[in-house]
Structure 1
């Protein structure tokens, strides 16, 4: 099985939802900060991000001092050319001695693209023998399914029971799972309820809009720390540990 079966975006798709400057968007600002807050409790290095895309998450980890690298099946232009991302490569096809180096793997909005997620997670566990932690984010919940998910090639949007079930069936112990972007859930619910669809493009903020996005990103970071993790949000974060037999 390919490590990124059916996850490869075209260059046009990447530039539509990850244009240059999108790192200033509140969603990316907040997601990076929230990830680092919770994943930092289970820090293991080196980290391999599978499905690294243009490198937005990888850059956030490296700015925080993580020893982190990425691999991406697609051929696209990295946001920062000096990031250690190997494009056009399958993580499962890396040399065995290299796969044995990694103590953590990140799958950030990747799992939902796969038709057989349990089989993929099982193979991940077997291909990375030194794996201590798996870090994941996925879109949620199912009632926010929209044209955007179709455009992105998603098979599903998750809820907590579904994500925990897939990880457990694949041979992992779930250490932590939580929703985030809680308030955004209600915004997206209203958009889909009254418009019936959402935009398939994510514009990069420019000029003074960056200040607004900075503030909004900070709001969502604080929200994730203050609200219960089981309250619905538009994203789910999970940290899991492989059970080797």
Structure 2
């Protein structure tokens, strides 16, 4: 980890750090697999780390980015994966009923009108299909890293459920995930003013602490966590 400096440097370090947290990523990949059907879309694919993990499980997988520069980089990285389509996706969109499901990890917290974004995402999904979300948890953990990476909020289970209800979605699951990760993130970013980045601390957590957390949370749902995991269904539309 390193001291927090300019926004662009922070964003780059966080993305690079997350890319090295392989066990964390594969755990969160598992959360979505059973819900997405055979032709899902990811909203906000970033560097494509999750897309590369998800794509082998589906007939077709669509990765998206809103930012033109990141879109170019995403297309370059995902070249050679014939079942992955890469496209630009700007919200709101009028596109309807295109995909079997949608997944979006650590994106909604960047959007001021998150209810409008959820409505727009729901329009992309066939009626009855699922929207799977991961967002950062607990406002008290809002840190300089959150601000530098463009977060406008952190969620609780209650506020996540309120947003899903307001968007007209049918909630299937809302729970916390990665309890020990919340403690580590808060201490690192709010107490010691560090940025999660590639290095020995991230690698140690991912290799040794994360497997223990994953095993425990398979047995008992934690009362808190670094993230909120949510699954909601697009209602069947009236004839």
Task: Show the counterpart of 1:30.
Answer: 24
- In the TM superposition, what is the alpha-carbon distance from 1:133 to its structure 2 partner? 0.4
Correspondent of 1:122 among 119, 133, 137? 119
In structure 2, what is the Cα distance between the partners aligned to 1:161 and 1:222? 25
Residue in structure 2 matching 1:45, options 38, 49, 60: 38
The answer (yes or no) to whether the contact 1:92–1:127 under 8 Å persists in 2 is no
Please list every run of 5 or more consecutive structure 2 residues that lacks an aligned counterpart in the other structure.
Answer: 1-6
More strand by share: 2
The answer to whether the 8 A contact 1:182-1:223 is kept is no
Residue 238 (str. 1) matches residue 230 (str. 2):
yes
RMSD between aligned residues:
3.0
Q: 2:3 maps to which residue?
A: none
Q: Would you say the 8 A contact 2:157–2:175 is kept in 1?
A: yes
Range 151-160 or range 123-132, more displaced: 123-132
Structure 1 residue 118: Cα displacement: 1.0
Compute the TM-score of the two structures, normalised by the length of structure 2. Answer: 0.79
Question: Where does the alignment leave 5 or more consecutive residues of structure 1 unmatched?
Answer: 1-9
Residue 198 of structure 2 aligns to a residue whose secondary structure is: coil
Q: Mark the CA change 1:214 to 1:62 in structure 2 (over 3 Å): closer, same or farther.
A: farther
Query: Could you say which residue in structure 2 is the equivalent of 1:6?
Result: none
Q: Which residue matches 1:162? A: 159
User: In the alignment, is the contact (CA less than 8 A) between 1:125 and 1:131 conserved in 2?
Assistant: no
CA distance in 2, matches of 1:160, 1:16: 28
TM-score normalized with structure 1 length: 0.77
Is 1:224 paired with 2:221? no
Residue 11 of structure 1 deviates from its aligned partner by 7.7
Please state whether the residue corresponding to 1:138 is helix, strand or coil. strand
1:204 CA drift (Å): 5.7
Q: For residue 138 of structure 1, report the CA deviation from its aligned partner.
A: 0.1
Listed one character per residue, the Cα deviations across residues 99-145 of structure 1 (whole Å, up to 9, x for unaligned) are 53301011111111111111221232234445610000000111101
CA contact (8 A) 1:52 1:58 kept: yes
